[in-house]
Structure 1
Amino acid sequence: MSVLVWCVWATTLAVLLFLPVLSVVSNELCLWRQVQVAHTKVSSSRMFESDAAPPGSSEDLYCCNICTRLGWCNLWCPDPFTMICTFSNTIVMPTYVETNKTDAITCYTRRPKDYAATANITAGKQHIRAPSKVKESLVDGIYGFNSEEGFKTTTKDKDKWFVLDMGKEVTFTHVLLIAQRTSTANRTADIEVRVGTSAVMPPEGFTAYSLFGWFPGPAYPNQEIVLTSPQPVSARFISVQKMSGKSPLHLNHVEVY
């Protein structure tokens, strides 16, 4: 069972509330969820800082508010023995399961609880020159902004897609896609997201699904493409397809919440 942390920021005073803890910085309300992450993954983040909580202060309150104020911080990890907190831009979903248990440390993520990290994924044929860019990395629940992460299809129209199977109907309002982190992210365009309740033959069968959202593009490196429905949508399957262009479908991370 995950632990939630809320914290509250004031210019001169931080007040401990009930657990879970609340963070309000620049009128932003933040909810932090506990997750276990390997220390090596946190310390190898592309953006990484550490800071010590002032003597007599609450480390959790101090660290979650500093993470919020940094802007780029997605994860913070307190050390109760040294009172030093580390801050990372690595995205970790609350449903992420760390496999390296011996190196795991307790951290707190600001990402929402989502369905993608527990979904099954099928996809078109991947680019043969990118064997490390497997489709499972889209839904493994962690993204460290590394060029080796993500999934890249071939340039053939029949391959430029993937579909998530949640296992059952779930209700959500957001689908988030992160473009690749290189300059070729601008090739991410004309992306169509559809939803349905039953399996179809991809990619032709996706037309039977309801349109959830469309991203015209182009994207910029590491852009978080957020498609939103004004009303909650219930579906079991979510298809993502590049509809046109000569470039492949190339994305690094997916969230559904």
Structure 2
Amino acid sequence: MDSSTVFIQIGAIVGAICTLAIFSVLFKENPYYRLFEHIFIGLAAGYGVFVTWRDVLYRLWWEPMINRGQWWWALAIAGGGMFYFIYSKKHQWISKLLFGALFGLGAGTFFQGFANTYFPMISASFKSVVPPMDVPLTDAIVASVNDLVFVLVLITVMAYFFFSIDHKAKAMRGTASLGRWFLMFAFGAMFGSTVMARMSLFIGRVDFLVSDVPRMFWPYAVGAAILIGLIYFFFVEKKRRLNQDAEPKTG
């Protein structure tokens, strides 16, 4: 057995143990779930720091400053150091200057992205329900029906959020009610797609446990699961029961 196969098997064993430990929270809160939750968060934080240094700080700051002689990048150290004045009550205003500048830049970038994203959508909302004449009849009917449905949904949903006129009025009651139904359909579809995405992740992990792991070494995986269960029930549960028995009884 070569070394690559050994590493693949070790990775599968670790993956199976981690998956079972995370799924154990479905049974109840337990220290194994907490342990692997903290391991996952720690690994994610460490990996985030590494990726930030490799892809951002080293490539865009350290390498131009050291290897290309762009010494003015050293001024970024002063800007970054201003963040830490937030821990000083006397000089906290220095950090607020930097925070204010960053919030202003972020707000400007957000509004620019908002305009670039939604203004074209507003102009594209003006659709003609008249079928085009330069396409086949079937395609023209389909395009006209699609545009008609789009305009109908747009008007009814806008009417639902239009509060200048009382919705009890006859002209608004039916339109707003239809818009609410369209919103319910849209939110239901969004929720369903979210559930499907989560289920695809769950199915992937279950397929890993019942297909990939047993195909390589199911006895080891089963033995590891049994060992974890025995450790939990013989030590943790026993300690919990002893603590319950030691509690004074009232009544």
TM-score, with length taken from structure 2: 0.18
TM-score, with length taken from structure 1: 0.17
| Greater Rg over alpha carbons, structure | 2
Is the strand fraction higher in 1 or 2?
Answer: 1
Is the helix fraction higher in 1 or 2?
Answer: 2
